[in-house]
């Protein structure tokens, strides 16, 4: 008895071009409503769209980075439907001749690598944005109308919400690496639709696919998929089936809710856009874009393993975001010890970012300051534990490590005479621990070290304490 979940994704990504897809209006988020608008954006009669070359370049860049084939003879189509956020009554999109076909992303699972195949990547324009007021009115802002998008459609190759999450993370990292989108989900520049159904492995019976629209956080997407997975299985168990429909995720109720019955392709009445000539793409242009592509996550990970001798897991984490990878490489310039820098970032730095739910680019910690901190720990000026406390202080106050160490008098005690005094005092106070040590109880040693560190307010050089303590115990 078992059920297999089948998940396919459609991801809409806004391209960060300066201007819109078919006119010269600014493509920028957060401006006053309806200020980045012209007759083309709102489809006034006689307004003629002109294709934005940079948008095509970015779409090709994404296609190459995602291992797709670039189709050199393509065109734009009109997708006819009426929504209040789409004032023209049609959206310019691509139907049977998408710009990119195929492609894949590899995700790392516990038991190896899985290839998630792509169906296609096509170009689209975004719609306007609706806001529903509490008085029952709908406000429409057309600033977003005509912003260039790519829609990335996967094959139904994912079998768990976790695999879908890994796919989305890898996709976002790749798009950010090649700088075609900022992928800010909270600003709507990356949105995801999920197609999901479940198969009973024994009987082969399957549920109808449901589509969950417009998920705007990875967490919401995963929760929505988990909810749907359970709902489909429960219906199968009762001998019932799901309706082929579009649903949305309700964050407050923590459930998916019916939006509408699914529209068939025929309902859109696709037709070539008569205002736009077929798009013929020069092979040389594609090769130019390919040869100028920056280093991608996978290649950077391999380089980190080779160049810095890192474990594959660590290299994978450090290269998962372009900014984190850059932070790591910049820090090495200040303390040339790749393994040690990796340990600090993988440990205390990432823990702090996770606790605060921020990215490395959002904090005041600089590679220079972290490099200086690691240097003074490495040189024995402060010990490792003190280093961690200083790092915490650096996050909190943005001060540099030297200042914190100076202000708080944290310089490590490596003076043997001074340490000897502290150790002798602790030994005098803990006769029983000495007896325990002589009787072979190793824990006594740890206890004594702890007492000495405490007496030195954490500043004693731990290696030196360990060595001197053992010698002095043996002399007693
Ligand atoms: Zn415009």
Kindly report, residue by residue over 140-154, the tens digit of the pLDDT.
Answer: 999 999 999 999 999
Separation between Cα atoms, residue 147 and residue 36, nearest integer Å = 10
**More confidently predicted of 173 and 474:** 173
Q: Are 193 and 212 in contact (CB under 8 A)?
A: yes
What pLDDT sits at residue 284? 97
Q: Are 385 and 450 in contact (CB under 8 A)?
A: no
CB atoms within 10 A of CB 445: 16
Beta-strand pair 210-215/245-250: parallel
**More confidently predicted of 148 and 405:** 148
Mean pLDDT of 4-14: 97
Ligand 1 center–CA 250 separation, angstroms: 33
Ligand 1 center–CA 176 separation, angstroms: 26
CA distances from 169 to 107, 141, 186, 304 (A): 9, 30, 15, 20
Q: Are 36 and 26 in contact (CB under 8 A)?
A: yes
Backbone angles phi, psi at 371, to 5 degrees: -60, -40
Ligand 1 center–CA 368 separation, angstroms: 44
Separation between Cα atoms, residue 141 and residue 30, nearest integer Å = 11
260: its two tokens: 């509408």
* Residue keyed to tokens 């007492």: 451
Ligand 1 center–CA 188 separation, angstroms: 19
Distance from the first to the final alpha carbon of the chain: 69
**For the chain, percent of residues with pLDDT exceeding 90:** 73
What pLDDT sits at residue 311? 94
Ligand 1 center–CA 28 separation, angstroms: 12
Ligand 1 center–CA 42 separation, angstroms: 7
H or E stretch covering 176: helix 161-177
Ligand 1 center–CA 143 separation, angstroms: 8
Lowest mean pLDDT among 153-167, 184-198, 406-420: 406-420
**For the chain, percent of residues with pLDDT exceeding 70:** 99
pLDDT in tens, 413-426: 888 888 899 999 99
What pLDDT sits at residue 259? 86
pLDDT category, 264, cuts 50, 70, 90?
Answer: low
Beta-strand pair 148-154/3-14: antiparallel
What pLDDT sits at residue 84? 80
Helix, strand, coil content of the chain in percent (nearest 5): 45, 20, 35
Residues measured by CB to lie within 5 Å of ligand 1, the ion: 23, 25, 38, 40-41
Ligand 1 center–CA 370 separation, angstroms: 46
Residue 266 has pLDDT above 70, yes or no: no
SS3 377: helix
Q: What is the pTM of this model?
A: 0.83
Ligand 1 center–CA 56 separation, angstroms: 17
Ligand 1 center–CA 54 separation, angstroms: 16
Ligand 1 center–CA 173 separation, angstroms: 30
Ligand 1 center–CA 41 separation, angstroms: 4
What pLDDT sits at residue 445? 87
Ligand 1 center–CA 148 separation, angstroms: 12
Bridge partners for 260 per DSSP: 246
Ligand 1 center–CA 147 separation, angstroms: 9
Ligand 1 center–CA 24 separation, angstroms: 6
What pLDDT sits at residue 265? 63
Alpha helices in 178-321, H assignment, sequence order: 218-237, 283-291, 297-308, 312-318
Beta-strand pair 271-272/255-261: unpaired
Ligand 1 center–CA 37 separation, angstroms: 5
Ligand 1 center–CA 86 separation, angstroms: 14
CA distances from 138 to 129, 132, 134, 218, 250 (A): 10, 4, 9, 27, 19
SS3 196: strand
Ligand 1 center–CA 27 separation, angstroms: 9
H or E stretch covering 389: helix 384-397
What pLDDT sits at residue 246? 92
Ligand 1 center–CA 362 separation, angstroms: 33
**More confidently predicted of 331 and 456:** 331
pLDDT category, 412, cuts 50, 70, 90?
Answer: confident
Bridge partners for 132 per DSSP: 138
Ligand 1 center–CA 274 separation, angstroms: 19
**More confidently predicted of 339 and 112:** 339
What pLDDT sits at residue 209? 95
To the nearest 10°, report the CA torsion of 132, 138, 139, 143: 80
Q: What is the pLDDT of the chain when averaged over all its residues? A: 93
Mean pLDDT of 124-144: 92
Separation between Cα atoms, residue 158 and residue 117, nearest integer Å = 9
Residue 203 has pLDDT above 70, yes or no: yes
Separation between Cα atoms, residue 54 and residue 180, nearest integer Å = 10
DSSP tag of 362: G
Beta-strand pair 255-261/77-80: unpaired
What pLDDT sits at residue 89? 87
What pLDDT sits at residue 277? 92
SS3 24: coil
Ligand 1 center–CA 47 separation, angstroms: 10
């Amino acid at each position: 008895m078992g059920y297999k979940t089948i998940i396919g994704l459609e991801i809409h990504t806004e391209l960060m071009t300066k201007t819109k897809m078919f006119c010269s209006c600014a493509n920028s988020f957060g401006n006053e409503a309806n200020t980045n608008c012209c007759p083309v954006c709102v489809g006034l009669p006689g307004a003629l769209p002109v294709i934005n070359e940079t948008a095509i370049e970015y779409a090709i860049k994404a296609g190459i980075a995602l291992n797709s084939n670039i189709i050199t003879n393509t065109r734009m189509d009109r997708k006819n439907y009426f929504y209040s956020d789409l004032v023209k009554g049609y959206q310019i999109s691509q139907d049977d001749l998408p710009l990119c076909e195929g492609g894949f992303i590899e995700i790392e699972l516990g038991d190896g690598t899985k290839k998630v195949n792509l169906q296609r990547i096509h170009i689209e324009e975004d719609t306007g944005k609706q806001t529903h007021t509490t008085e029952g009115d709908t406000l429409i802002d057309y600033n977003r109308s005509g912003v260039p998008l790519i829609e990335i459609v996967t094959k139904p190759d994912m079998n768990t919400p976790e695999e879908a999450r890994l796919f989305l993370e890898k996709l976002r990292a790749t798009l950010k690496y090649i700088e075609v989108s900022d992928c800010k989900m909270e600003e709507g520049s990356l949105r995801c639709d999920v197609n999901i159904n479940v198969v009973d492995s024994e009987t082969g019976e399957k549920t109808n696919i449901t589509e969950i629209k417009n998920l705007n956080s990875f967490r919401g997407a995963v929760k929505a998929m988990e909810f749907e997975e359970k709902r489909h299985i429960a219906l199968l168990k009762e001998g019932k089936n799901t309706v082929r429909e579009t649903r949305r995720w309700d964050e407050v109720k923590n459930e998916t809710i019916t939006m509408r019955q699914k529209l068939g392709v025929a309902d859109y009445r696709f037709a070539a856009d008569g205002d736009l000539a077929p798009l013929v793409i020069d092979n040389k242009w594609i090769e130019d874009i390919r040869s100028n592509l920056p280093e991608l996550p996978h290649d950077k990970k391999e380089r980190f393993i080779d160049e810095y001798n890192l474990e594959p897991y660590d290299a994978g984490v450090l290269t998962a975001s372009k900014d984190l990878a850059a932070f790591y490489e910049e820090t090495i310039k200040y303390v040339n010890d790749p393994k040690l820098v990796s340990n600090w970032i993988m440990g205390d730095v990432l823990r702090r970012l996770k606790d605060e739910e921020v990215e490395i680019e959002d904090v005041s910690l600089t590679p220079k300051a972290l490099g200086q901190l690691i240097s003074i720990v490495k040189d024995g000026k402060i010990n490792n534990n003190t280093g961690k406390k200083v790092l915490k202080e650096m996050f909190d106050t943005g001060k540099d490590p030297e200042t914190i160490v100076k202000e708080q008098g944290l310089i490590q005690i490596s003076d043997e005479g001074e340490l000897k005094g502290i150790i002798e005092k602790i030994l005098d106070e803990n006769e029983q621990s000495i007896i325990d040590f002589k009787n072979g109880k190793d824990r006594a040693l740890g206890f004594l070290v702890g007492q000495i560190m405490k007496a030195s307010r954490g500043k004693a050089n731990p290696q030196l304490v360990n060595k001197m303590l053992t010698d002095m115990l043996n002399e007693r």
